[in-house]
Amino acid sequence: METNSREALQADFDAFGISDELGFLLEEPLTHLPDYYRVWLDMANNLTHLIESRKLRDLVHKMPELSPHLLSNHRELRLAHLALGFISMGYVWQEGQQAPAQVLPKALALPYWLVSRRLGLPAILTYADSVLCNWKLKDPAGNMEMGNMDLIFSFPGGESCRGFFIVSLLVEMAASSGITGALEVMHAMKVSDLIGIQKGLVKVTQSLKKMKETFKLMHNHVDPTAFHGTLRIFVSGWRDNPMLPRGLLYEGVSNEPILLSGGSAAQSSTLQCFDVLLCIQHEDETGAFLTRMREYMPPAHRGLIETLSVCPSLRDFILRHSISDLSQAYNTCVSALVDLRNYHLNIVAKYIILPGIKVRTTGCPMSGVGTALNTSGAGGSNFMVFLKSVRNATQKALIL
């Protein structure tokens, strides 16, 4: 029985692109592509300097139009998507929010679109790019910890840029055992294995607590002024963005501008998996937004959320059986998710709300990022309303 369950879990890991130790992180991301694509990697590797010296747009205008046909596997496609995403964000926002580019040139837009189509991802820098596959180890023999990790590509913002993406990555890594726990609950439900369900929920709870503790590293490695004033613009998209109200025109792809959201934690497959597992109901605009964010996840990861969503309701199962230990395990898990979401609200207040108030009161936008982004998350949502709605919906799932 135990052997069969291990085999079932391994089949799930393979089908949904999951690692037992790393969760949804891409294992051993590539840092090199075939030499034909050197111009992309040279530009992406030098991106911070090119943006700060205002030279990136000129270089993009001169770049050759390359075909993605030599990209032969998933890791190569992910690196190409990452590089083209960083270049595109830098190109659009090089001059700050007051002068975004309205058109992405064909030599960048067309290969980016074709790579995106092969991956089943949109042609914009997603959370799956900047967090899940934008990492490397300084010492390949060392551990995956803050001091031994670096980004493959970076934006202006120095250590705060590295800290923001690496801490987000470590939070995702802390979720790995919880994803395994969610799968264990799913399989235990099929055979009404009450002990298996309880053990799986305990794993999810422990994982959520570890995620919150890891999230606290943000305070040590990300400066609020640098995040709000420098980095944040470069993860902003062109949907629900007053600076690009019509979207961005992808030259050679479409005759009309395209609306796409920037990367945000709403695109985390991990959190949506836990929501679906615990039967947390996000309604109206919040629910619609979260459902739309699934389009920004790798198809295999999205597949896990969809698989969990069509399973019998865990909450209803627990209510039917009226077993106090099971109800308690469920409530403890939901409460841990509420705690994580409350902590996320505190982080948002420190890194976005308070610096935004400072900008408005001094009347001096930092590094060209003014009030337009102060109430809107990178994904385009009014984030405080959104995050409170998500937190409140989580609390409502508690079994009283």
Binding-site residues for heme b, please? 344
CA distance 384 to 357: 14
Binding residues: 344
Query: Quick check: 131 and 165 in contact, CB under 8 A?
Result: yes
CA distance 337 to 36: 46
H helix or E strand, kind and range, residue 188:
helix 176-190
CA distance 114 to 10: 31
Distances (CA, A) of 195 to 134, 164, 269, 277: 38, 38, 26, 17
Q: What is the DSSP string of 63-98?
A: -----GGG--SHHHHHHHHHHHHHHHHHHHHTT-TT
